Amino acid sequence: MPVPPPPTGDLAPSPAAHWDPVPSWPEPWSGPTPPVPATSSPSWLASPGGALSRPVGGTVATALPSAPLEHHQLLRGPRARWWRPLVSLLLLLGLVGVVWTAIFLGGDLVHAALSDQPFDDALAAGVDLDGFGPGAQLVTDLTLAALIPVVLVATRVVHHVRPGFVSSVTGRLRWRWLLRCLLAVLPVWVVYLGLGFVLDPPASGRPEPWPLLLVLALVVTPFQAAGEEYLFRGWLVQDVAVWFAHPGVAWGVSTVVSAGLFALVHGSLDPWVLLDIAALGVAACALNRRPGGLEAGIALHVVNNVLLGIATTTVGGYEESFVSADSSGSPVALLTSLVVLTLAALLVLRAARRAGVERRARPAGGPPLAPAVLPG
């Protein structure tokens, strides 16, 4: 939901600051200027940082950067506290529980309404989430796509930062830049997957309900991939980075945490599979840092998932394409992934240089400020 930006400048003047004398008065006040009481500066003015939240008209306005911080450190603003990431985690888990419960119940109701079985029996059975049918795919994709609003709400409520700064340093998702990233990595993945299907054809044919699965791959899967990026490269990276002042250390630690958890949640403990998935996570974090936003990582993830969905539903190998506890990898597969990811990253970085994509948040006004020192 777009939010109007707050006033720019070091201090947004209130209406009272522009006082004009009433013309009908005989003469303006000419006496001595009354002394201004000495008060301490409010925290939103005195504290340096990268994501400014200040009172405007009696309410808390949306955040604007007040220092040229990188994307992963945008939560280190004047209101940053060490405990906010922990509270944000609790809120995020609560929101995920509520949203996912609603999606699962909705899926069961739709399944029962469309099923040939009696409604009560079909409702009790629910959607078979262990299967690979369209129903299971739709519910799974929706639960992951729902992470986008969950992340934005958790960031706004806990950190008092405008949710758009999760997307990029400009405070919004840069659609043109996202499109350029998609066009940059698409040819690489077409060749990569095409050669893979030629050199190692799938053992199984295309699934029976392949038209429905193809529609889901084209329509819903992009939001599923974006939801994972907002969680692992947006919310998780920015919240972990709150605890580290040095930009390089903050990026390194948050990248390790993000890539590690991203690999583990896929369900396989095979070391080659873990390294393969973690490599995608590291590449996405690297691409998010240089161009200053989630767009490059989203493009990488969307192209991979959508093209894989198209290929496996129309050619074959749909069930084998999912990572599970039984999945296994190899050094050759890992090396191939590293080569492909490196090539894609180089193309995106070249596009970023040509487009002049902003890497850091622009100060709202005044000289650049130092990163915040977190009070207790």
What are the tokens at 201?
A: 């054809």
Which residue from 14, 15, 66, 16 is spatially nearest to 43, judged by alpha carbons?
Answer: 66
- Find the mean pLDDT for residues 68-93: 92
Q: What is the pLDDT of residues 203-232, one digit of tens each?
A: 888 888 899 999 999 999 999 999 999 999
Q: What is the pLDDT of residues 297-315, one digit of tens each?
A: 999 999 999 999 999 999 9
pLDDT of residue 80: 87
Which residue from 11, 12, 78 is spatially nearest to 43, judged by alpha carbons?
Answer: 78
**Higher local confidence (pLDDT), 10 or 255:** 255
Sign for the CA dihedral angle at 48, 50, 51, 55 comes to: positive
Residue 115 has pLDDT above 80, yes or no: no
DSSP assignment of 59-104 equals EEPPPB-SS--BGGGTT-STT--TTHHHHHHHHHHHHHHHHHHHHH
Q: What is the pLDDT of residues 224-256, one digit of tens each?
A: 999 999 999 999 999 999 999 999 999 999 999
Instruction: State the Cα–Cα distance between residues 30 and 13, nearest whole angstrom.
Output: 24
Q: Is residue 269 within 8 Å of residue 324, measured between CB atoms?
A: no
Instruction: State the Cα–Cα distance between residues 284 and 122, nearest whole angstrom.
Output: 41
Q: What is the pLDDT of residues 48-67, one digit of tens each?
A: 333 333 333 333 334 445 67
pLDDT of residue 13: 40
Instruction: State the Cα–Cα distance between residues 187 and 35, nearest whole angstrom.
Output: 69
pLDDT of residue 29: 46
Which letter, b or e, does each residue of 158-190 get, where b requires 16 or more Cβ atoms within 10 Å of its Cβ? Answer: bbbbbbbbbbbbbbbbbeebbebbbebbbebbe
Q: Is residue 213 within 8 Å of residue 273, measured between CB atoms?
A: no
pLDDT of residue 209: 87
Alpha carbon 151 to chain centroid distance? 7
Q: How many CB atoms lie within 10 A of CB 325?
A: 9
- Find the mean pLDDT for residues 186-204: 92
Instruction: State the Cα–Cα distance between residues 112 and 135, nearest whole angstrom.
Output: 11
pLDDT of residue 266: 93
| 353 CB-contact burial (10 Å; exposed 0-12 / middle 13-18 / buried 19+) | exposed
pLDDT of residue 368: 39
For the chain, give the number of residues: 376
DSSP-derived 3-state class of residue 293: strand
**Higher local confidence (pLDDT), 254 or 373:** 254
Instruction: State the Cα–Cα distance between residues 56 and 70, nearest whole angstrom.
Output: 26
Instruction: State the Cα–Cα distance between residues 228 and 233, nearest whole angstrom.
Output: 8
What are the tokens at 270?
A: 């095979």
Residue 345 has pLDDT above 70, yes or no: yes
Q: Is residue 371 within 8 Å of residue 69, measured between CB atoms?
A: yes
Residue 296 has pLDDT above 60, yes or no: yes
Which letter, b or e, does each residue of 326-352 get, where b requires 16 or more Cβ atoms within 10 Å of its Cβ? Answer: ebebeeebbeebeebbeebbebbbebb
Q: Is residue 120 within 8 Å of residue 105, measured between CB atoms?
A: no
Residue 93 has pLDDT above 80, yes or no: yes
pLDDT of residue 42: 35
**Higher local confidence (pLDDT), 362 or 168:** 168
CB-based contacts of 366, cutoff 8 Å, min separation 6: 9, 10, 66
Strands (E), the chain: 55-56, 59-60
Residue 294 has pLDDT above 90, yes or no: yes
End-to-end CA distance of the chain: 32
Q: What is the pLDDT of residues 144-179, one digit of tens each?
A: 999 999 999 999 999 998 999 999 999 999 999 999
The model's confidence at residue 45, banded by pLDDT at 50, 70 and 90, is very low
pLDDT of residue 123: 64
pLDDT of residue 151: 98
Q: What is the pLDDT of residues 12-41, one digit of tens each?
A: 443 434 334 334 434 444 455 444 444 333
Residue type, 133: G
* Low-confidence winner among 41-45, 103-107, 129-133, 196-200 (lowest mean pLDDT): 41-45
